[in-house]
Amino acid sequence: MQKTNGKQTQRNKFPPGNKIGNRFKKGETGNPNGRPKLTRLTDALREQLAETNPDAPEETIAEQIARALISEAKSGNVQAIREIGDRTEGKPKQAIDLDLQINDWRTLAKNYSLNEEDVIREAKLLIAESFDDSSDE
């Protein structure tokens, strides 16, 4: 291990002349599929939802939950209504209002009775201030 700037870094996993050499070719990973995604909770829920209801063997637990959700929605439960809508119709799309009008800075400067040199000088000051602020952090 080599110490640099108070942090320990490992220089090489395999020092020069080691008998194993590099285990993987350049650009090749040792775990091409990555870490497996854990789905234990999802798998357990799906298994239990597929089981038959002990009280009513002709319906599954998922069907019983759906029936209870519909009953809640019928009684006016807004969250249940929203859940049913989201599951059956999909979540409603959100409208985004964008103003894509692009104004040239020269035109804006003229509108405010400024000349180009003043705008450029002010922009340089703002940029310099932003760099000064970021170096203080």
Question: pLDDT, tens digit, for every residue of 43-101?
Answer: 899 999 999 988 888 999 999 999 999 999 999 999 999 999 998 988 888 888 887 77
pTM of the model: 0.42
Contact 70, 87 (CB under 8 A): no
Mean pLDDT, range 9-19, rounded to an integer: 56
Count H helices, E strands: the chain? 5, 2
What is the phi/psi pair of residue 112, to 5°?
-105, 15
Q: Is the pLDDT of residue 137 over 60?
A: no
Q: List residues bridging with 8 in a β-sheet.
A: 3
DSSP structure class, residue 38:
P
What is residue 60's predicted lDDT score, i.e. its pLDDT?
93
Q: What is the pLDDT of residues 94-136, one digit of tens each?
A: 888 887 777 788 888 888 888 888 888 888 999 988 887 666 5
What is residue 2's predicted lDDT score, i.e. its pLDDT?
52
What is residue 47's predicted lDDT score, i.e. its pLDDT?
92
Query: In whole angstroms, what is the distance from residue 48 CA to residue 62 CA?
Result: 8
